[in-house]
A and B are shown apart, each in its own frame.
Chain A
């Protein structure tokens, strides 16, 4: 890390900017989301009630079942999706889903990325370089 830039061990997709939506909690499209309305709905989730549309989601770990592999594709087709996913720990399902949907994703940091990125910060997610990274713009 330097000057608000945090490097990931892996990334895919295109460079995007957006407002960060941050929580020390997991992510599963099936378990956590109302995908029609674009909000977190699982009552136990720390972002319950929050809209994720167009936000850069900064969360702890990929959770849940295999459905997310299809659901990111379906969410992207309808345009009701986050701008990017940034996770401390990814699982294969999230990678498979992002690959199918051409979705922007980063994972694996030296720091706890949910502590490093302030909620609401404007960030840039860049998986295209030699070292995929998330950068705080303001």
Chain B
């Protein structure tokens, strides 16, 4: 492969993997069964799209992926691009990237909740996933094994069928490095995200593995999704354990290395309230309400529909889901109910991966309400001032001219 016998795409891929693996101390490769590629065009830029197109022009036998390979959200929902005031050049780049990926044999799933909708990995399965929220959920809740694989590395794994064996492919890296004693179990999704944000700040970097004790009930998949996505976003963390809940930590001792002291921290309700307040205290009115990051499950779609029935959004209310959930939401009338109340249901994109700065400028959006702690963490870099609120308070703000009810 490295000598080029399988063509230049596989040759580039294996050389890229050797460079990355050498830097990170991998001794060999591990076969992977699936790849998930993050490659929105705001990240790729024209240079990245041209790079993909060059690969897509190779002969078919040299460019095709070797394992099932799926994609993270794209940078637009073509059906709603005009309403979002996205520009033709953005759509052109998106279209070109999609054509290139399809030529490589990639399945355009366009989702960051594949663990809820496509094919969840199983415990011990080695995969090469992009999107930090996908990786942390798959590692922690499913017990699968992946590092953060950015677009180039996930594509490399797709082309070679393997990935360098470092980090969370190794047993020893999956042991806890800090213990978090949770004194108050969150209820709302925004609170789960806030807890993830706090733990992420305490953890601090990619190589830390928090083990949580004290969670007094089993969180559902959406709660785990928001907790993990925020933890990965604030801390660059790829694996957590919840003692008695996640598969590798039936007891705390299961994930503690004998003889190794690890720091411990306590988190209570006051910490979660302070985290929420740190974002909301200077904002009494927002310009847009966004449910995204991660994409909404069918259950979340139903929750939004129930909250907004019979009401009317007077500022933009964007509800972002996956192309897999959207047809069900359509069929069950959820899309109709949300849009009848003035909301906009978007599919296959993610708000912050969709030229968020340009959308802000074109639409006059500066202040944003969301129940996603992950989005709250990211969107400041695009010029927004975010407020982290419960889902019901977000809907209330949308129906009240953007005014946040104290």
Please give, as numbers and ranges, the residues of chain B lying within 8 Å of A33 by CB-CB distance: 381
Q: Does B78 make an interface contact (CB < 8 A)?
A: no
Q: Does B23 make an interface contact (CB < 8 A)?
A: yes
Query: A64's contact among B25, B44, B45, B378, by CB below 8 Å, is which?
Result: B378
A106 to chain B, nearest CB (A): 10
* CA distance in complex: A100, B12 (Å): 10
Q: Does B380 make an interface contact (CB < 8 A)?
A: yes
Please give, as numbers and ranges, the residues of chain B lying within 8 Å of A93 by CB-CB distance: 148, 150
Decide: B131 and A65 in contact? CB cutoff 8 A.
yes
Query: A92's contact among B45, B47, B148, B235, by CB below 8 Å, is which?
Result: B148
Please give, as numbers and ranges, the residues of chain A lying within 8 Å of B43 by CB-CB distance: 30, 67, 70-71, 74
A121 to chain B, nearest CB (A): 24
Q: Does A125 make an interface contact (CB < 8 A)?
A: no
Please give, as numbers and ranges, the residues of chain A lying within 8 Å of B25 by CB-CB distance: 10
Q: Does A96 make an interface contact (CB < 8 A)?
A: yes
B123 to chain A, nearest CB (A): 22
* CA distance in complex: A93, B152 (Å): 10
Decide: A44 and B380 in contact? CB cutoff 8 A.
yes
A5 to chain B, nearest CB (A): 21
- Asked, given contacts A66-B38, A92-B149, whether A31 binds B377 with beta carbons under 8 Å apart, the answer is yes
Decide: B20 and A95 in contact? CB cutoff 8 A.
yes
- Asked, given contacts A10-B23, A66-B132, A92-B206, whether A77 binds B45 with beta carbons under 8 Å apart, the answer is yes
Q: Does A73 make an interface contact (CB < 8 A)?
A: yes
- Asked, given contacts A93-B148, A96-B150, A99-B16, whether A66 binds B131 with beta carbons under 8 Å apart, the answer is yes
In the complex, residue of chain B having the shortest beta-carbon distance to the beta carbon of A41? B381
Please give, as numbers and ranges, the residues of chain A lying within 8 Å of B16 by CB-CB distance: 96, 99-100
| Max chain A C-beta neighbours (<10 A), residue from B39, B42, B205, B383 | B205
Please give, as numbers and ranges, the residues of chain B lying within 8 Å of A117 by CB-CB distance: none
Q: Does A43 make an interface contact (CB < 8 A)?
A: yes
Q: Does A97 make an interface contact (CB < 8 A)?
A: yes
B293 to chain A, nearest CB (A): 10
Q: Which of B135-151 contact A (CB under 8 A)?
A: 147-151
Q: Does A126 make an interface contact (CB < 8 A)?
A: no
A130 to chain B, nearest CB (A): 14
Decide: A31 and B150 in contact? CB cutoff 8 A.
no
Decide: B152 and A69 in contact? CB cutoff 8 A.
yes
In the complex, residue of chain A having the shortest beta-carbon distance to the beta carbon of B21? A95
In the complex, residue of chain A having the shortest beta-carbon distance to the beta carbon of B235? A63
* Chain A positions 80 through 96: 1 when the CB is less than 8 Å from some CB of chain B, otherwise 0: 00000000011111011
Decide: B23 and A64 in contact? CB cutoff 8 A.
no
Query: A65's contact among B45, B147, B233, by CB below 8 Å, is which?
Result: B233
Please give, as numbers and ranges, the residues of chain A lying within 8 Å of B45 by CB-CB distance: 70-71, 73-74, 77-78
Query: A70's contact among B44, B232, B236, by CB below 8 Å, is which?
Result: B44
* CA distance in complex: A30, B377 (Å): 11
- Asked, given contacts A64-B233, A74-B43, A77-B45, whether A100 binds B378 with beta carbons under 8 Å apart, the answer is no
Decide: A99 and B148 in contact? CB cutoff 8 A.
no
* CA distance in complex: A74, B45 (Å): 6
Please give, as numbers and ranges, the residues of chain A lying within 8 Å of B150 by CB-CB distance: 66-70, 92-93, 96-97
* CA distance in complex: A65, B23 (Å): 19
A56 to chain B, nearest CB (A): 19
- Asked, given contacts A10-B23, A92-B24, whether A66 binds B151 with beta carbons under 8 Å apart, the answer is yes
Q: Does B153 make an interface contact (CB < 8 A)?
A: yes
Query: B20's contact among A74, A78, A92, by CB below 8 Å, is which?
Result: A92
Can you list 7 A-B pairs, Cβ within 8 angstroms, ordered by A?
A41-B383, A66-B130, A66-B148, A70-B152, A90-B206, A91-B236, A92-B24
Task: Given contacts A69-B151, A69-B152, list 5 more A-B pairs with CB under 8 A.
Answer: A42-B380, A64-B233, A66-B150, A77-B47, A92-B167
